[in-house]
Copies of this chain bind each other. A is one copy, B any other.
């Protein structure tokens, strides 16, 4: 589609098309929306983009996103410091927080081990994790990396690393999604659901 639009519109479509999940069609749709949107709507979006880059950084303890040197969870004295949940990305923290099931603390790795993309253990915040665990306060580490090849490999790597430290290491349960249909589950998930089946009292 190069050259179809004049300069500024095409430039915007190109920039929008670089965003994750935005294909050429969506980029065009968003660009035309911007074109006919009120100037203050666009000013708010520009401001939000600028502010995020200026104000947001990563928590010096856990690696979560934060506007101060430490994130709200690390600053919260009510959070249990003996349970640490290890996740790949800051957005995983949000997903887990939304469940309201977990009251411990987090450690964000910044990704998963992925040899194909050239991501090794040294590229993740694993050294920082080991430093946090050194003082012996943490009693349980929950490995909540993604249930895919990279996430499993990372969990296996970390489980080995934590062996013999006297820390309980666990992994989130795999199984059928709640509210889903059994017939739509893929075979790996269904297999895991069988493997992890639980006795029902009768």
Nearest CB of chain B from residue A155's CB, rounded to whole Å: 22
Q: Mark A28-63, 1 if CB is under 8 A from B, else 0.
A: 111111110001011011101111111110000000
Nearest CB of chain B from residue A95's CB, rounded to whole Å: 9
Interface stretch, picked from A3-11, A119-127, A187-195, is: A3-11
Interface size bracket, A side: 35 or more
Nearest CB of chain B from residue A98's CB, rounded to whole Å: 7
How far apart sit A148 and B184, CA to CA, in the bound complex (Å)?
Answer: 34
CB-CB contacts below 8 Å: A10-30 with B: 11-12, 14-16, 18-22, 26, 28-30
Q: Which residues of B contact A4 (CB under 8 A)?
A: 94, 97-98
Known A-B contacts A18-B41, A32-B90; A5 and B49 likewise in contact (beta carbons under 8 Å) = no
Task: State how many copies of this chain the complex holds.
Answer: 2
B6 engages A49 (CB within 8 Å): no
Nearest CB of chain B from residue A197's CB, rounded to whole Å: 31
Say whether chain A's binding surface is mostly helix, strand, loop, or mixed: helix
Give the residue of B12, B18, B21 whose beta carbon is less than 8 angstroms from that of A29.
Answer: B21
* A146 sits at the interface (CB 8 A): no
Query: 10 closest pairs, A vs B, by CB?
Result: A12-B48, A15-B48, A8-B51, A15-B45, A8-B55, A11-B48, A12-B52, A8-B52, A21-B26, A20-B33
